[in-house]
Amino acid sequence: MNNFLIKNVCVPGLDLDEAHIVIKDGRYDTIMPAVSNEALIFTQNWEENNKKAVDGRGWTILPTFTDIHTHLDKAFTYEQVPNYSGTLREAITNYQSAFPAFTEEGMIERMRRLMDRALSYGTGRMRTHINTGENKKENIALQAASKIKEEYKGILDLQIIAMVGNMSQPLTKNIELQDLLLSNNIDGIGGAPHLSESCNEEIEDLFAFASSRDLLIDLHTDEQDDPEVRSICHIIKQVKNI
């Protein structure tokens, strides 16, 4: 519903104990002091016409939160993918081992569970990184995320970043994978090129594809213990060349 009244809320920055806020066509339209004849008359008329009203009971109203980095495909998988060492390397290895047993339906259920929990805490925008591969089975997570994005459209805005890396051929030359990515409504390209033996070449490839398709690029960068790995330097060079 795009038109409703929020009653009795505290608005940061306003010199009011409590306020009534009128939302019309999904946007703030009017803010009035809750303790006023204007607000009393307006509220009575609004509710007598059976229009939607929500009582904030004196709570503070804030913009929705934004979760800038999550992995929906890995949500609620700790029981299937334990990590005894607490290291990134074990997490990656164990997830890869467990992945063949996952189904698209199971992915959707876990993603929906996380989206609902995020909504309950006030999150209105989210960016998720999703593992992407070269065969159909590897991309059930991407397909699940695409369906979830559509399901929650207008409720929780979801950006999908397809994590691409360690492919048999560069993404810019893999037309089949390109079509798969674009058909699943992705917003950007991601990856962890510092884990690749051809790190710089992979970075250049990802930047080239993202630029050619006007996609976002959001890379995991140098998440490892080797101080000699500095992919950030090559990433900076690519950014300067855009």
The DSSP line for 112-167 is HHHHHHHHHTTEEEEEEEEE--SSTGGGHHHHHHHHHHHHTTTTSEEEEEEE--S-
The DSSP element (H or E) to which 180 belongs, if any, is helix 175-183
Task: Work out the average pLDDT over 136-143.
Answer: 90
Task: Mark out the alpha helices in 5-103 (DSSP H runs).
Answer: 37-48, 88-98
pLDDT at 1 over 60: no
Could you give the CA distance from residue 101 to residue 206 in angstroms, rounded to a whole number? Answer: 29
What are the tens digits of pLDDT across the range 40-99? 888 888 888 878 888 999 999 988 999 999 999 999 999 999 999 988 889 989 999 999
b/e for 74-83, b at 16 or more Cβ within 10 A? bbebeeebee
Is beta strand 27-33 parallel, antiparallel or unpaired with respect to 123-131? unpaired
Quick one: what percent of the chain has pLDDT higher than 70?
A: 100
What are the tens digits of pLDDT across the range 175-230? 999 999 999 999 999 999 998 889 999 999 999 999 999 999 999 999 887 888 89
Task: Work out the average pLDDT over 28-45.
Answer: 87
> What pLDDT score was predicted for residue 200?
94
Give backbone dihedrals phi and psi of 32, rounded to 5 degrees, phi first.
Answer: -135, 150
pTM of the model: 0.84
HSE-CB of 240 using CA atoms within 13 angstroms: 6
- In this predicted model, which residue has the larger pLDDT, 165 or 119? 119
> What pLDDT score was predicted for residue 24?
87
> What pLDDT score was predicted for residue 63?
86
